[in-house]
Structure 1
Amino acid sequence: MMDTCFKCGSKMNPNEYSCHVCGQNEMEDYRMIRNYVRSYPNSNAMQIANATGISVSKILRYIKNGSLTVVDNQSRRGRRFD
């Protein structure tokens, strides 16, 4: 039984989040954001979006799901962007 990708509608295996192509695109976006933040650690979501072309909503989704962490500028606490 095949499911369909929620992003593009193409066929994919059951129990997967997205198809292979959309999954690869998602990883490329994440890596681009992570690399930008490593170079410019004090950037906000809008600055990251403007520099990478990735939507603010996608950046905020990565923060919300724990893939990226907001660092408190006062104390510099937080996790690395791995």
Structure 2
Amino acid sequence: MTDRCLKCGSEMSPYDYTCKVCGENDRDEYRMIRNYVRSFPNSNAMQIANATGISVSKILRYIKNGSLTVVDNQSRRGR
């Protein structure tokens, strides 16, 4: 039994959300975002999107699902 990838529509295992190609693309984009944030830790989602070419909505999705965390620099300045 096969299902269809939610992104590209190609066949895939019924236990996955995306096919292997789309899943690897997502992992590559996540790594790109993570590496950028490590180099530029005070960046906002728009700056990350402009630098990486990855949409703001995808970056915000990573933050919402807990894959990326946001640091409140305002509270750190008062220390």
**TM-score normalised by L of structure 2:** 0.93
TM superposition outliers: structure 1 runs of 4+ over 4 Å = none
**TM-score normalised by L of structure 1:** 0.90
Identity %: 80
Once the two structures are TM-superposed, the CA of residue 15 in structure 1 deviates from its matched residue by 1.4
Q: Root-mean-square deviation (CA), in Å?
A: 0.7
Once the two structures are TM-superposed, the CA of residue 73 in structure 1 deviates from its matched residue by 0.3
Once the two structures are TM-superposed, the CA of residue 29 in structure 1 deviates from its matched residue by 0.2
Distance 1:41 1:52 in 2: 14
Q: Which runs of 5+ in 2 are unaligned?
A: none
Distance 1:17 1:5 in 2: 6
Distance 2:48 2:71 in 1: 14
Number of aligned residues: 76
SS at match of 1:41: coil
Bigger fraction of residues in helix: 2
The one-letter code matched in structure 2 to 1:4 is R
Distance 2:17 2:36 in 1: 25
The one-letter code matched in structure 1 to 2:11 is K
User: After the TM superposition, which residues 6-45 of structure 1 pair with which residues of structure 2 at under 5 Å, given as runs?
Assistant: 6-45=6-45
Q: Which runs of 5+ in 1 are unaligned?
A: 77-82
User: After the TM superposition, which residues 47-62 of structure 1 pair with which residues of structure 2 at under 5 Å, given as runs?
Assistant: 47-62=47-62
Larger radius of gyration: 2
